[in-house]
Every structure is written in structure tokens, then in C-alpha cells.
Amino acid sequence: MELVLSIGIGVLIGSGVWLLFRPRTYQLIIGLSLIAYGVNLFIFSMGRLKVAAPPVLTSSAAVNPADYADPIPQALVLTAIVIGFATTALFLVVLLVSRGLTGSDHVDGREPS
Amino acid sequence: MTDDTSLILMVGLPFAGSVLAAILPTHARNAAAGLAGAVALICIAIAAFLYPTVAHHGAVTSNIEWIPSLGLNFTLRMDGFAWLFAMLVSSIALLVVLYARYYMSPEDPVPRFFSFFLAFMGSMLGIVLSGNLILLVVFWEMTSIFSFLLIGYWHHNAGARDGARMALTITGIGGLGLLVGVLLMGHIVGSYDLDRVLSSGELIRSHPLYVPTLCLVLLGALTKSAQFPFHFWLPNAMAAPTPVSAFLHSATMVKAGVFLMARFWPVLAGTEEWFWIVGLAGMSSFLLGSYFAIFQQDIKGLLAYSTISHLGLITMLLSLGSSLGAVAAIFHMMNHATFKASLFMAAGIIDHETGTRDMRKLSGLFRFMPFTATLAMVASAAMAGVPLLNGFLSKEMFFAETIETHVNSILDTAAPYAAFLGSAFAVAYSLRFIHSTFFGPPPTDLPHEPHEPPFWMRFPILLLVLTCLVVGILPGYTIGPYLHTAVVSVLGAATPEYSLAIWHGFNLPLIMSLGALVCGVIFFYCLKTYLATSEEGPPYFRRLQGQRIFERVMASISWRWARFLEANLGTRRLQPQLRLLVVVALIAATWPIWAQGLDWRPPTLAGADPVFVALWVIAIVCAVSAAWQAKFHRLVALMLLGVSGLVTCITFLWLSAPDLAVTQLLVEVVTTVLILLGLRWLPKRSPEIAPDSIPLVAKLRRYRDLALAIAVGAGSTLVAYAIMTRTQPATIGDYFLDKAYSEGGGKNVVNVILVDFRAFDTFGEITVLGVVALTVFALLRRFRPAPDSVESPEQQRIQNAHDDAQPDRKVGDTISDYLLVPALIMQWLFPVIIVFAAYLFVRGHDLPGGGFAAGIAMAAAFILQYMAAGTIWVEDRLRVLPVRWIGLGLLLAALVGAGSWVFGYPFLTSHSQYVELPLIGAVPAASATLFDFGVFSLVLGATSLMLIALAHQSIRRLRTTRAAATAEEETA
């Protein structure tokens, strides 16, 4: 379980980083999204992996924390997902405006000479 | 009023007055002057009120804790020396305010002048009264800034701008030095408290860091006091309005430097290094300043160089390390302030009434303004050190000190000769000032007809000159006791015996004084004819201008070097920057692992569910393919990305994070829609366009990038695996699990954390979301697509052509029929998704769901309608008003948060209880639910705003073409 997820995280981040170095803005936006998945999973995994133990209380009695997954990374990742969406949208718009303004979809705003 | 509150009032009042003056109407000259005068008067009253305590009990202090953990307190401390300075600053301020009321033209924005003036006065009082070293530096920097604003007050004048910038640069550099010096001092002593520092003189002087500390503190003091070699900013600062010069260059600004040296005199003085640095700077300033002053043609220039010279005299006195020298220095600080302030004011009057300050043009003004001329003559006599005036007394003490041998060296031996020479020069320039302006034939071709100024403009000069006289004749009865209090507070037990009498017998200092007077007069008469027509500046030195050197240095640093660095080290290309960032991050992460090793278990696949493994094999293939295809096959890459996203989502669900799974799924939907909307505006790119052979350099570059990407990916895997396989230490998560129900009233712990425990963070995050959405909206309002994207998409054109060719079809029919069944389903789904969103929201507190997920679901409902039926169709029937949703959400969240203040709880404290509703039963009703509704509303607004704004771009072209068509029809 842990090994599979860590390899998955590594591949997501690695593919994203590869795209980060590419010259076209669209490659960058896909790359950043891939990195976002990887990083979100990475943060999430900091609470260790637990199967069938969601942090949703079943009774109002006192709880044993060991029975539940760690809620903190989940709360962090939840807002990260939404903010990630917002930054993707912002980046997409900047990308479009830059393309409209310069006529090029190169990250530097002009075709390499 | 207690003593410590009055201290705070004294420093705070000028700043309050400054803010008040700033909001006065632009031409409220009298109101602003009245305000400034009242502030200065109150400060004088406070100082007078505090004097008995200061004189009898040593010092008054006031202490407010600021950042105690850093040793940083807002400590104000008034001892005798500080009192003398505070009184001087406030009194001169009052006189300058009175003078400025008449000097400033009604056309100038006078309230702005008084606003800066009061702030400057407050900063100066702050320096004088600081009881904490850091606080002192803060006020010190503030005087630099406000002097910049004051010198540059007439900012339409290039000279004023340059002078202001030069003053700020020089004193700012000094201020930086002082800050470091003070930090070193605090480090040596272990406290920034002034009292502690002043009592640790031995410790500081014997510390190995003494020399750097001394140099840095002196850098601050010497730049501020315009001492050689930093003197050149002062003459350039003469572009300021004359009241500013009268205030800054007599009692404040430049005095801050010598004040600082006197303040730290018990701590830093008395060593060889102190003597050489301070002595050399003081002597050069004293001699050069007085010599240069003779050859100035501008009256204010003459006074500026004379200020440099007199400050040099004070610096020289402080350099000697003898306590008598310190007494003389403090005395001369006061005397110089009185006569120099009055002389600047007189110069201002001459400028104001004749329209010029050039001594080659001025002449014989005595017959036009006898009163002003008499006052100026007395003040100049004080400057020259004529007996029966205050300048004579301190100069006499200066001579007496230079004759004594303190440190056996060339500098000390040269001191009396330098003192004599400088004093002779001082006599010469004082005489020059009086003779060229007030005597001789009546002036010709002056810009204005000269006459006496209004009485109240002369009045401040009259008072100052009277002070010079009274102190000069009866020193022991007037300044005596106050000076004594000040001297005792600086020197403490080392206070020497001194007497302020005029007549000390026929001794060497008196002979020197008289000799200097005679020599100065002779010197002036030899130069008289030359000076009447000569150029500005002393012969031979004219070409060597500090200003020009300064400008050249500035140009090199800020222009040539900066451009060189940018050209050779910088890049405007994004890819190298990103590469650098990733490499730095990689090194930063590898370093500790390399150094300390990573304790990790051998990798094993045991316990992994085959389905989970299969899912991730798919996700990995898709991620790599997405990276591979993103250049030429955008849609494919987007779909592959979506698969990775879905696997991420399933992973969340699998590993006990249902909330994340829901949110991820919904975000996945809207992200895909968003990017789909954007794809249309990107240029065509197909593999055929690319050249067949890739050059070797590009290949190598790709291999390098690939290696970097693999390294980063492998590193992330390694770190993730190492962390996941070790047992988790106790975290605050346990606390939240424990308290979620008992204190948050909810069973879904993640949601309770978001809307209750860490609601303030969430508040910040939704604000960011709102800001981003508005930014997207604003950017798209000005969006201009590239020319090759303006046309309708190819598919639509083919479809329209098809319609055109068929006789029974209208153009656009195929497009509206296109995907008819899915569109119908999407329309039917509208209410279903709304109910689903409401359901997600309501169950959020106890079960997976919540405001974030519900908001995105609702936004998806809207955008599906846009996709199904087109923007125009939807907007004919439905107004979404996303900006209102954003505003509502943010306001609601803030109000719910602020609501807890009403009940006396901190911001965003949540309250929860169960409410009995008919038919439904007990329903949880926490105030957090309202907050969650704010989150819902904002997420809905932000998401739909971004999507709709992007969707609108396609119809904008239609609108513009349609508008153009109608316009054409109208003209036709």
C-alpha cells in the first residue's frame, strides 16, 4: 500500500516537473496540475494510511483517536484542492491573455529565436 | 498627569498633529500654523513641567512593553541632557512655526509642510527621549525620511529633489550603519536598554567587537552631522524652504549626530580609535567648512558650510575624551542652535524681500531693513565668537581645551593651530556675510524692492538674538543650572569643575580669541575685492565637488553595475528560472538526507490490494502519457490528466478521506470544464509543424530535464515512503477528534476543523478564492484573443457550411442539434444537482460534505446548463450574479465571526446546539453552519464567476461582429 502510493506520488511529481521545464504554457498548466495531485497526496499521506477509518465520529461518547484517520492533513488538503482549482483557473486565464497579447504560447511570451 | 504619560504625550503629540495637519484643506495656512504652534507650545510646557523631577531625581522614564521577547520596549527616558535637547527642539520649533507662517507663500500647500514638520519634530524628540537603542534607531530613520520630505517640499524644483535624495541616501546609509552598530552594542551588553548600556562603558570598550561597533555608530553620527567626508549633502539640502533649513540645520537633524556622540560619549569615548576617527573628522570639517564658507556666494551656502564647520568644532571637542571638552561641546550645541537658527531666518528674510540670495548682487541693505540687519549682525558676531555673546564663551572653552594635551600625538599638537585658523576663517565669513549684504552702495537690479518684513516674521529672530546676548552676558544665571543638569546626566560622577564666566583673566585662550578676530578681519579685507566677483566655491577646490563624486558613485552602483549584473547573471526566460528553483529545492532536500541518513524499512508490496495496485498502474501510465502528449495533443493530455485525478480521488476514498474524495471529484469536473473552455483560444500545434531532426543541443537539454524530473520524482517517492512507514507520533489531530463533538457539535471532524477550530484559516482561504475569481474576471474583461483564434472553430464552420448547402436547413441548426440528448439530460439534471448540493451542505457537519463541496457542486449545476444550451439561452432565463454570491459569502462569514464579539468571545468562536423542528425532529444548529454557508456562497460565486467569465469570451466575438454589422447597416 505505502510503496504503491509513494511510487504514484513520485511519478505524478516527476511528470509534473518534466512538464515544468517545457516551453509551452499548456504543458505548464498540465504539469502544475500533476504536481498538485502529487503534493496533495503527499500531504495527505503524512497522516499515515488507514483503511475504513474515516474521521467521522460514530457515537457521541469519548473517542479513541487510534480508530480514526488523522483529520488534520485531510483538512489541509481539502482547502488545498479548492485553492489549487483557483490557481489553475488564474493561470489558465493569464495563459490565454498572454497568448492574446503576444500572439505566442511560449512561456516567455515570444518564440525562441 | 503623571510624568511618564507626559513623556508619551510629548513624543506622540507631534505625530497626532502631523496626521491632523495632513487632512486639513490645501490652503488652510493659518489653521495648520496654529496647530503646529500649539503642539510646539504644549511640548515646551510639558518639558517645563518635567524639569523639577529631572533636576532632582535624575531621569523620568516611561516603559511600555513592545516585543519584550526581543528586548524591545517602547522606553522613553528624559534625563538632563535629553531635557535640554527636548526644550531646544520644541522652542526652536515654535519660533520656526511662527516664522514659517509668514515665510510660506499662500500658494504653497502649507498644511503638507506643517504635517511633515510636525512629524519631523516628533521623530527628533523621539531620538532625544528614547530609552531603548532600537527605538532610537527607529526614530533616527524617521528623521531621515521626514527630512527627505521636507527638503524635497518644493518637488517641482529639480535641485530640491536631488538635494533631498542625496540627504536621504547619505543619512540612510549612516542609519543602516547605526542600526548594526546598535545591535552589536546590544549584543555586547546583553540589553538594548539605554541605562544598562550607559553603565557598561568598560565592558564595551574592552570587547573585541569594540572597533566595528564604534565605526558603525560613528558612521551614523558623522553622516547625520554632515561631517567630513560625508559633508556634501548639507549644502545641497539648502534647496529646502528656509524655515526647514533653520530647523534642520540648527537645532535638529545635524544635531542628532553630535547628540548621539555625546549620548554615547561615556561608553565609547576615551580610546585611541575614538580620538583618531572623531578627531580627524571633526578637525577636517572644522577647517574645510570654515574655509569653504568664505568663498560661497549664496548666503544659505555660506551658512551651510559654517554649520559643517561648527559641528566639526563640537565633534573635535567630543573627540578629546576629556570631560571639560564634553561640557564645552554640549554648551556649544546650544549656542550654535540659537545663533544659526536666527541667521537662517535672516537669510530667509533677505531672500523673501529681495528675491535673491546671491551676495554678488546684494549690497547696502542696511538702509532698507535696519532692524533685521542689526539682528543679523549680532547673530553673526555670536557666530564669529565676539565677546559678550554666547558664541564667545563656548569658543573660549574650545581654545582652552585644544591647548591642553590629551593624547600625545600629531593631531593633538596640531589642534590649537587648527582651532586658531578655523576661528579666523569664521570671523572672515561672518564679516563677509554682513559686509556684502548690508553695507556698500545701494543694490541695483534686484528682483524685488527690499523692505522690512512683517513684525512677527522678525520676532523669532529677535528672541533668539536676545538669548544670544543674555546668555553671553550672564551665562551663570541663565543657561548655567540647566547646562549643569545636562552635563551631570552625561558625565555623572566624572563631572569636572567648570565656570561659565566671561572673564577668566588675561590668558592664552583670550589672546587666541583676539588674535583670531584680528586675523579674520585682515584676511577678509585682503579677499574683499576678489570675493565681490568670484565664482561660487573656493579656489582650487572648486573642481573637487563631493556632489559630483557622489553622483558618479550612484550612477555606477545603481545603473552600470546593476545592468552588468542583470546582463551577466539574470535572465528573463522562465525555463532557466524554474530549473534553478527545482535544482535548489532538490539540493535543499537531499542535503539533510545525505548528511544524516534516512532510516527506512525495506520496500515491500505485502498488504497491497491488487485492485489498488492496478489503479495506480493506470494512473502512472496516464500521468506519464499526459506529460508526453501535452505539447501536441492537448485534449488527450487533459483526459489523461483527468484519469490521474480520478485515481487520486479513489485513493482518498480508499484511505478513509471521504470529504477529500467528494471535493476532488467535483473539482475535477469543474477544472476539466474550465480547461476545455480555454483550449479554444490556444494556437494550433501539430507534430507535422515540428522539424524532422532535433538539434543535438535540444536533445541534451531534454535529457538533462528528464534526469532532473526523475531525480525529483524518485526523491519524493523516497521521502513519502520513509515517512509513511514509520509510526506516527502523537499529533494535535487527537485533540480535534476528541473535542469535535463535545466542543464543535459535529461528527465530521474534517468539517468541524474547517468551520470551527481553524475557521480563521478557512476565512483567509475563501478570501483568497474570492480575490482570485475577481482577478480572473478583471483579466478577461480586457481579453483580446490572438488573431488566428478569432474565427469560429473549424468544426462549427464545417457544420455551418453543411447547413448552407442544404436547402431545408438554416445556418446554426446543426450546432443547436448537436449532442441534443446529452444536452437534454443535462438540463433535466439541473434541479437534481441543486438538491444534491443542498444535501451535501446540510449533512456537512456530521457526515462527509460541507460548504466547499456543495459550492462546487452548485457551480457545476450552472456551468452544465451553459454547456448544454449555450450562454445566450441560459442568460435569457437565469441570472447567476456570481459577484453578489462572493460578496454575500465573505460578508456572512465575517459577520458570523464578528458575532461572537457580541457575546464576549474571540473572533469566530462557534456555538452549537440542537433545535427541535416540527416534523423533522432535532436538527444540529451551530453558528458554524452559518459560517459554512458563507463558505458555500463564496465558493459557488468564485467558481461560477471564473467559468462564466471564460464562457462569455466565445459570445463576445459574436456580439462585436453583430454590433459591427448593425453599425454598417445604419451607415448604409
CB A76 within 8 A of CB A40: no
- The amino acid at residue B644 is S
Q: What is the rounded CA–CA span in Å between residue B674 and residue B504?
A: 93
Within an 8 Å CB–CB cutoff, is residue A69 touching chain B?
Answer: yes
Report the pLDDT value the prediction gives residue B912, as an integer from 0 to 100: 67
Q: What is the rounded CA–CA span in Å between residue B929 and residue B924?
A: 9
Report the pLDDT value the prediction gives residue B888, as an integer from 0 to 100: 92
Q: What is the DSSP letter of B154?
A: S
CB B656 within 8 A of CB A50: yes
Torsion over CA of B299, B303, B305 and B310, rounded to 10 degrees?
A: 160
Contact A94 B631 (CB under 8 A): no
pLDDT at B425 over 80: yes
Residue B804: partners with Cβ closer than 8 Å, 6 or more residues away: B811
Bridge partner list, B130: B76
CB B44 within 8 A of CB B87: yes
- Among chain B residues, the shortest Cα distance to A42 is held by B720
Q: What is the DSSP letter of B753?
A: I
Residue in B333, B582, B566, B344 with CA at minimum distance from that of residue B465: B344
What residues of chain A lie within 8 A of the CB of B721, using their CB?
A: 2-3, 6
Within an 8 Å CB–CB cutoff, is residue A109 touching chain B?
Answer: no
Residue B224: partners with Cβ closer than 8 Å, 6 or more residues away: B140, B143, B144, B171, B174, B175, B253, B254, B256, B257, B260
Report the pLDDT value the prediction gives residue B312, as an integer from 0 to 100: 92
CB A68 within 8 A of CB B735: no
A65: number of Cβ within 10 Å: 17
Lowest-pLDDT range of B214-228, B446-460, B957-971:
B957-971
Q: What is the mean pLDDT of chain B?
A: 85
Report the pLDDT value the prediction gives residue B285, as an integer from 0 to 100: 92
pLDDT at B172 over 80: yes
**What is the pLDDT averaged over residues B679-704?**
77
Sign of the alpha-carbon torsion through B649, B652, B654, B659 = negative
- The amino acid at residue A79 is T
Instruction: Give, in degrees to the nearest 5, the angle at Cα B711 between B709 and B716.
Output: 95
pLDDT at B689 over 60: no
C-alpha dist (Å) from residue B656 to A56, B206, B229, B607, B648: 9, 65, 72, 16, 13
Report the pLDDT value the prediction gives residue B942, as an integer from 0 to 100: 92
Q: What is the rounded CA–CA span in Å between residue B744 and residue B926?
A: 8
Report the pLDDT value the prediction gives residue B544, as an integer from 0 to 100: 63
What residues of chain A lie within 8 A of the CB of B645, using their CB?
A: 33, 37
Q: What is the rounded CA–CA span in Å between residue B260 and residue B266?
A: 11
Burial call B634-658: b when 16+ CB within 10 Å, e when fewer:
beebbebbbbbbbbbbbbbbbbbbb
In a 13 Å sphere around the CA of B597, the CA atoms on its Cβ side amount to 3
Q: What is the rounded CA–CA span in Å between residue A83 and residue B769?
A: 6
Residue in B111, B382, B118, B84 with CA at minimum distance from that of residue B247: B118
Q: Per residue in B330-339, pLDDT tens?
A: 888 988 998 8
- The amino acid at residue B885 is W
Best A2, A44, A102 member to test B by mutation, with max B CBs in 10 Å, is A2
Report the pLDDT value the prediction gives residue B540, as an integer from 0 to 100: 66
Domain extents for chain A?
A: 2-50+68-102
CB B204 within 8 A of CB B189: yes
CB B174 within 8 A of CB B220: yes
Report the pLDDT value the prediction gives residue B5, as an integer from 0 to 100: 83
pLDDT at B321 over 70: yes
ipTM of the complex: 0.96
Lowest-pLDDT range of A91-95, B649-653, B906-910:
B906-910
Q: Which residue has the higher pLDDT, B161 or B2?
A: B161
Burial call B261-297: b when 16+ CB within 10 Å, e when fewer:
bbbbbbbbbbbeebbebbbbbbbbbbbbbbbbbbbbb
**What is the pLDDT averaged over residues B695-700?**
84
C-alpha dist (Å) from residue A26 to A88, B409, B678: 11, 75, 10
Q: Angle, nearest 10°, between helix axes B80-103 and B323-354? A: 10
Within an 8 Å CB–CB cutoff, is residue A98 touching chain B?
Answer: no
Report the pLDDT value the prediction gives residue B917, as an integer from 0 to 100: 64
B672: number of Cβ within 10 Å: 15
Report the pLDDT value the prediction gives residue B1, as an integer from 0 to 100: 56
Residue in B942, B943, B910 with CA at minimum distance from that of residue B927: B910
Q: What is the rounded CA–CA span in Å between residue B933 and residue B924?
A: 14
**What is the pLDDT averaged over residues B928-936?**
87
CB B655 within 8 A of CB A55: no
Contact B749 A68 (CB under 8 A): yes
pLDDT at B919 over 80: no
Sign of the alpha-carbon torsion through B953, B958, B959, B960 = positive
Q: What is the rounded CA–CA span in Å between residue B278 and residue A106?
A: 60
Q: Per residue in B895-904, pLDDT tens?
A: 888 877 777 7
Percent of chain B surpassing pLDDT 90: 23
Within an 8 Å CB–CB cutoff, is residue A33 touching chain B?
Answer: yes
Only one residue has cell 557666530, namely: B383
Bridge partner list, B63: B75
Q: What is the rounded CA–CA span in Å between residue B177 and residue B130?
A: 18
Q: Per residue in B129-163, pLDDT tens?
A: 998 888 999 999 999 999 999 998 888 888 888 88
A74 → closest Cβ in B659, B714, B716:
B659
Helix (H, G, I), strand (E, B) or coil at B155: coil
Q: Give residue B177's pLDDT band: very low, low, confident or very high (50, 70, 90).
A: very high
Residue B577: partners with Cβ closer than 8 Å, 6 or more residues away: B571
Q: Per residue in B514-550, pLDDT tens?
A: 888 888 888 888 887 777 777 776 766 666 666 777 7
Q: Angle, nearest 10°, between helix axes B323-354 and B299-319? A: 170
Burial call B738-775: b when 16+ CB within 10 Å, e when fewer:
bebbeebbbbbbbbbbbbbbbbeebbebbbebbebbbb
**What is the pLDDT averaged over residues A69-74?**
89
Q: What is the rounded CA–CA span in Å between residue B436 and residue B448?
A: 18
Report the pLDDT value the prediction gives residue B74, as an integer from 0 to 100: 86
Contact B582 A71 (CB under 8 A): no
What residues of chain B lie within 8 A of the CB of A96, using their CB?
A: 678, 681-682, 780, 783, 785
Which class is domain A2-50+68-102?
mainly alpha
pLDDT at B605 over 90: no
pLDDT at B121 over 90: yes
Contact A31 B627 (CB under 8 A): yes
- Among chain B residues, the shortest Cα distance to A102 is held by B786
Within an 8 Å CB–CB cutoff, is residue A57 touching chain B?
Answer: yes
Output the 3-class SS for B108-126: CCHHHHHHHHHHHHHHHHH
What cell numbers appear for B582 in the block?
A: 527545482
What cell numbers appear for B668 in the block?
A: 475535477
Q: Chain A closest CA to B176's CA: distance in Å?
A: 38
Q: What is the rounded CA–CA span in Å between residue B929 and residue B941?
A: 18
pLDDT at A14 over 90: yes
Report the pLDDT value the prediction gives residue B738, as an integer from 0 to 100: 82
CB B256 within 8 A of CB B305: no
Q: What is the pTM of this model?
A: 0.68
B847 → closest Cβ in A12, A21, A56:
A56
Helix (H, G, I), strand (E, B) or coil at A92: helix
Residue B566: partners with Cβ closer than 8 Å, 6 or more residues away: none
Phi-psi region of B537 (alpha: psi -120 to 50; beta: other; left: phi over 0): left
Q: Chain A closest CA to B730's CA: distance in Å?
A: 10
Lowest-pLDDT range of B310-314, B660-664, B744-748:
B744-748
Torsion over CA of A43, A49, A50 and A51, rounded to 10 degrees?
A: 110
B371: number of Cβ within 10 Å: 13
- Among chain A residues, the shortest Cα distance to B946 is held by A89
φ and ψ of B452, to 5 deg: -65, 145
Q: What is the rounded CA–CA span in Å between residue B638 and residue B433?
A: 83
Chain-centre distance for alpha carbon B407: 44
Helix (H, G, I), strand (E, B) or coil at A57: coil
